[in-house]
Amino acid sequence: MLAELLNHHLLSSIFAVVATIALFQFVAVFQRKLNAIWLQPMLVSILVIMSFLLWQNISFDHYFASSWFLNALLEPAVVALGFPLYQHLSTITKQWKSILLVLCIGAFIAIVTSFVVTMLLIGDYTIAVALALKSVTTPIAIAIAGQLDGNTAITAFAIILAGFFGALVGPPWLKFINVNSPKAQGLAIGAASHAIGTATVSNISYEHAAYSSLALIVSAVITATFSPFIINFLVTLL
């Protein structure tokens, strides 16, 4: 009985992981062939898998449990981003003041605009906190949202949205407004779209990967440190 169950679980695990990777690779090859940015492999894979699960009436929890192997790789993948960062460490240390300044301004504006606009349009504090934190990486945002009594489910949802939006629209938009330096593009996308954006621009160049992972870390630290003060202050104002 147990062996049978285990077997079953092992099979569905292997199937979920292999199918996810195969689908992702397929879309990636297709994207390169057609040279179409909007065919983002991550996004297309998610949409296809979601439709498949809904169609076959499989719960997300079952798929998530079966694809544990890919999830287990998430942390090592984020740690691996330390490599591009290491390669650009010498240029980054020369510019740390301007980088810190830009990212502080960015984090401040992101928190204030999201919080104020949500309070004005929806008027719900828990959602406003959730949206104020959407530009930082999931584990940090969820932790702060919990601390500030925000809605963690909406936080998780908004983080994914912000991630994909920046990953998809970020590079063409930045080019359009004449932001051509890989450093500026990397910083902007890392600050706005955390790990999802970083994973996407890592494909473009190594410099993108380095500056994007830098923005990911620094923005997370800045937001974790200052968002409780900023949000408490805004609450007294509104």
Partner 1 sequence: MNKFKHKVFNVLYSMFAILSCVALGKVCAFYAPLLPGSLYGLMLFTLTLHVRIFDADRIKDSVVWGVKHMGVCFVPAGVGIMNHFDLIRQFGITIVMITFITTFILLTIVGLHYQRYANDQDENDDEGSHVS
Q: Which of 6, 11, 36, 74 binds partner 1 (CB under 8 A)?
A: 74
Q: How far is CA 37 from the centre of its chain?
A: 18
Q: Which of 29, 62, 98, 149 binds partner 1 (CB under 8 A)?
A: 98
**Tokens describing residue 127:** 């959602």
Which is nearer to partner 1, 184 or 235 (by Cβ)? 184
The least distance separating partner 1 from the CB of residue 7, rounded to whole angstroms, comes to 22
Max Cα distance, the chain (Å):
63
The least distance separating partner 1 from the CB of residue 221, rounded to whole angstroms, comes to 7
Which is nearer to partner 1, 3 or 56 (by Cβ)? 56
Q: How far is CA 72 from the centre of its chain?
A: 17
Which is nearer to partner 1, 138 or 148 (by Cβ)? 138
The least distance separating partner 1 from the CB of residue 9, rounded to whole angstroms, comes to 16
| 170-229 binders of partner 1 (CB under 8 A) | 170, 173-174, 177-181, 183-185, 187-189, 191-193, 195-196, 199-200, 202-203, 206, 209, 213, 215-217, 220-221, 224-225
Which is nearer to partner 1, 7 or 51 (by Cβ)? 51
Q: How far is CA 141 from the centre of its chain?
A: 11
Q: Does 100 bind partner 1 (CB under 8 A)?
A: no
Q: How far apart are CA 149 and CA 192, in angstroms?
A: 23
Q: Which of 10, 89, 100, 238 binds partner 1 (CB under 8 A)?
A: 89
| 101-160 binders of partner 1 (CB under 8 A) | 102-103, 105-106, 109-110, 113-114, 117-118, 121-122, 127, 131, 134-135, 137-140, 143, 153-154, 156-158, 160
**Tokens describing residue 172:** 């063409």
Sign of CA dihedral 103, 106, 107, 108: positive
The least distance separating partner 1 from the CB of residue 65, rounded to whole angstroms, comes to 10
Convert residues 7-46 into a mask of x (bound to partner 1 by CB under 8 A) and - (unbound). -------------xx--xx---------------xxx-xx
The least distance separating partner 1 from the CB of residue 71, rounded to whole angstroms, comes to 6
